[in-house]
Amino acid sequence: MKQNNKPLPNNQEAKQMDLSKDKSDATNKFLTTNQGIKINDDNNSLKAGDRGPSLLEDFILREKITHFDHERIPERIVHARGSGAHGYFEVTNPIPQFTKAGFLQEAGQKTPVFARFSTVAGSRGSTDLARDVRGFSVKFYTQEGIYDFVGNNIPVFFIQDATKFPDLVHAVKPEPHNEIPQASSAHDTFWDFISLMPESTHMIMWLMSDRAIPRSYRMMEGFGVHTFRFINELNESHFVKIHWKPKLGTHAVVWDEAQKISGKDPDFHRRDLWEAIDTGNFPEWELGVQIVPEADEHKYEFDLLDPTKIIPEELVPVTIIGKMVLNRNPDNFFAETEQIAFHPGHVVPGIDFTNDPLLQGRLFSYTDTQLSRLGSPNFHEIPINRSIAPVHNNQRDGHMRQEINMGRVSYSPNSLGGGCPYQAKIAEGGFSSFNERVDAHKVRARSESFSDHFGQAKLFFNSQTQTEKDHIIRALRFELTKVETTAIRVRMLGILSQVDTGLAQSVAQGLRLVVPASPEQPMNHGVSPENLGGEQEPKTVPSSVESSQALSMINNPTVTPTIASRKVAIVCADGVDEQVVLNLKMALLKEDAKGCIIAPYHGIVKTDKGGEMAVDFTFLTCSSVLFDAVYVPGGQGLNELSQDADVMDFLNDAYRHCKIIGVQGQGIELLSGTAFADKIDNGDEGIVAEEDNNSPEFAANFIIAMAGHRFWAREATLSNN
């Protein structure tokens, strides 16, 4: 026998050889389950009819979501970075005619709540100001048990079927080969996925709008995303969409500002929520519902079960039924905010589900996720998750069990325990699912009524002011410029052309590309024609509503302008006019706003009257991006600031970000060194200037200007924006 003289590999070489056995390449391969079974349809879960409920027997869906739910421990896979607070919900307009839910029956009735707000894509250590969807979830501790509202600050979602959720999150997360970028959608894998999923188009319009960079959690709306059911005492069903509307209005920052805040204070939203509650500026939202009778299920040009669609408020107005007030910060972030466990399947009698295929998958996924993240089937016994209603069942043992169950019986039926615990009749408050008729074939398909992917995207874009449209265009340019693969950028331009040709052309100009004559079809990338939701090409169904004010943050008419809880940076130095500073601080305080002294040094500034004022921040430790407006008072000492580059950057950024700038007396001289000096007396209504330090009207005029949030008309004059 011929001897093999090849040297044996060293340990490192052997390790590499062993690892090579586990490598795989999916190029030109069929998609399979983890058991090697080839998958025929990866876009639709198994349902009873194309609009029917998802079926438990769908082993492909369960395997895919189970694997996804257990991919990371112990941090949440999505919504990892969040902040929360305690409070209460109070009924203002009872609706017993629609629902028998006990906590919605009487005016003045209060229910304890805990709310958690979050970003979606980033890790726990990422910035609060990423361009992202924001989670908006509320746990109601009702007398009938836990009810979890598990929503977002955007009313639609990227996908229509839960089986695509792992794909969506894999695409938006940092790319797996280098774990870059963190908390950002501006990369190839996300836009590759989106450009092949036309159903995401409506959501992309929202994500590229300023809704994705809110000023604070306290100034963003919340939505249930899905259509749920309300069930009344007569067992009558009504479809319902759920809305949270902030008392302070819906406001955002601009993208350049968001990026700078991420560097200056990545905890900006978390800090804002904590400080607002700590100082008694309790955040408040009104709870509203859109009610649709069962008989009107097919009344509209969109499908109520489609999670990529809204019900325009012009078709079904939002009825306000109560309010939520957050009035207590957590005692321990981990024990409460981090360990709280939400689940859309936690409902009480009077609230029920629909056959929305995204919701159906979530009903499976959330319990599975909590088992992985919190490590035990007893996560409901953690104090923040405990029901205030009595809990009695035959579930026992498990990791970290806390309840000590008495007696020998842990099964049903039984006679040794007297048959206890009893089953509750419906009249005794027992939960009963709505008896919806389901009669259909088992299929992997999607209803043809889900195939309009562009109609409401058009509605959203058409509803924006020109300022908001410009922000969407710039956001798309920013994101797609970060995409390295030209084919993906071109494919997205084809998608955008179905929304608005002007939008597509404007984005294309920034990319130096040409809008394709027609969008590329998904079937060219592994999706067969019969699995495209009933049609080979997505449809555009014109909306019966041409534009909706409720979809615009600037034009939204539902909130009275206010500056409550806003922060104003007061630029100071030794010699500042003490009285004008005190006058403005008092005027702001009366409006529940706050003035902060910013100076080039810490400790105190000396005033023109020989007094002292405490400094809140220095120009080294803060930036104008952390404030809502800027005020430059009079005073001889301000001249020294004109040579300070940090001060000039502070003022120039405030102007660039369209913030209100107030200036009095000698403070005007300081502004003469800024990039916007020629705008002070030249028609910029966002600059409130008054040469007279003693002007009685100045504070009132400054506050009125601040109530408009930003002076957006300024953007048209900013060549570098």
pLDDT given at position 80:
84
**Domain final residue pick, 384, 419, 442:** 384
Among 424, 504, 444, smallest CA distance to 469 is for: 504
CATH number for the domain spanning 307: value is 2.40.180.10
Mode of pairing for the β-strands spanning 567-571 and 594-599:
parallel
SS3 256: helix
Q: Which residues of 61-73 are buried (b: 16+ CB within 10 A; e: fewer)?
A: bbebbbebbeeee
Helices (H), 81-187: 165-172
Do 498 and 613 lie in one domain? The reply is no
Structure tokens at 76: 């949440």
Do 541 and 574 lie in one domain? The reply is no
Given a contact cutoff of 8 angstroms between Cβ atoms, the answer to whether 578 and 611 are in contact is yes
Among 660, 678, 684, 676, smallest CA distance to 720 is for: 676
Among 225, 153, 212, 220, smallest CA distance to 185 is for: 212
Q: Which residues of 174-213 are buried (b: 16+ CB within 10 A; e: fewer)?
A: beeeeeebebbbebebbbbbbbbbbbbbbbbbbbbbbbbb
Q: Please report whether residue 165 resides in a domain.
A: no
Mean pLDDT by 10 residues, the chain (721 residues): 42 40 66 72 88 84 78 75 97 97 96 97 94 97 94 97 95 94 96 96 98 97 97 96 96 96 96 96 97 96 97 97 97 92 92 95 89 85 89 83 86 86 84 88 92 96 97 98 97 97 98 92 58 59 91 83 94 93 95 96 92 95 96 86 92 96 91 88 87 88 94 81 41
Helices (H), 533-666: 578-590, 645-656
Number of alpha helices (DSSP H) and beta strands (DSSP E) in the chain: 17, 20
Structure tokens at 579: 């009285």
Dihedral angle computed from the Cα positions of residues 504, 508, 513 and 518, in that order, rounded to the nearest 10 degrees: 0
From residue 527, give the alpha-carbon distance in Å to each of 199, 251, 339, 446, 524: 14, 39, 39, 14, 7
235 is catalytic: no
Strands (E), 671-719: 687-690
Given a contact cutoff of 8 angstroms between Cβ atoms, the answer to whether 565 and 219 are in contact is no
Among 567, 531, 643, 677, smallest CA distance to 42 is for: 531
Work out the angle at residue 544's Cα, subtended by the Cα atoms of residues 552 and 468, and round it to the nearest 5 degrees.
20
* Preceding omega of 181 cis (within 30 degrees of 0): yes
Q: Please report whether residue 295 resides in a domain.
A: yes
Do 533 and 615 lie in one domain? The reply is no
Report how many domains make up the chain. Answer: 3
Do 537 and 615 lie in one domain? The reply is no
Q: Please report whether residue 211 resides in a domain.
A: yes
Q: How far, in Å, CA of 12 to CA of 141, rounded?
A: 57
Q: Please report whether residue 23 resides in a domain.
A: no
Among 251, 246, 263, smallest CA distance to 214 is for: 251
**Domain final residue pick, 367, 384, 401:** 384
Q: Which helix (H) or strand (E) holds 671?
A: helix 667-671
Do 314 and 348 lie in one domain? The reply is yes
Amino acid at residue number 380: H
pLDDT given at position 522:
64
pLDDT given at position 702:
96
Among 432, 425, 423, 99, smallest CA distance to 233 is for: 99
Q: Please report whether residue 397 resides in a domain.
A: no
Catalytic entry in 43, 44, 79, 251: 79
Catalytic entry in 44, 152, 153, 583: 152
Do 631 and 655 lie in one domain? The reply is yes
Q: Please report whether residue 401 resides in a domain.
A: no
**pTM, whole model, 2 decimals?**
0.90
pLDDT given at position 524:
55
Q: Please report whether residue 481 resides in a domain.
A: yes
**Domain final residue pick, 344, 368, 384:** 384
Do 130 and 260 lie in one domain? The reply is yes
pLDDT given at position 41:
85
Q: How far, in Å, CA of 348 to CA of 145, rounded?
A: 6
Do 500 and 590 lie in one domain? The reply is no
CATH number for the domain spanning 641: value is 3.40.50.880
Amino acid at residue number 268: F
List of residues 6+ apart from 511 with CB closer than 8 A:
477, 480, 481, 489, 493
Neighbours of 421 (CB within 10 A): 15
Range(s) of the domain holding residue 653 = 567-717
471 is catalytic: no
Do 586 and 675 lie in one domain? The reply is yes
Of the CA atoms within 13 Å of residue 696, those in its CB half-sphere come to 0
Do 537 and 605 lie in one domain? The reply is no
Q: Please report whether residue 104 resides in a domain.
A: yes
Given a contact cutoff of 8 angstroms between Cβ atoms, the answer to whether 566 and 248 are in contact is no
Do 582 and 533 lie in one domain? The reply is no
Do 544 and 657 lie in one domain? The reply is no
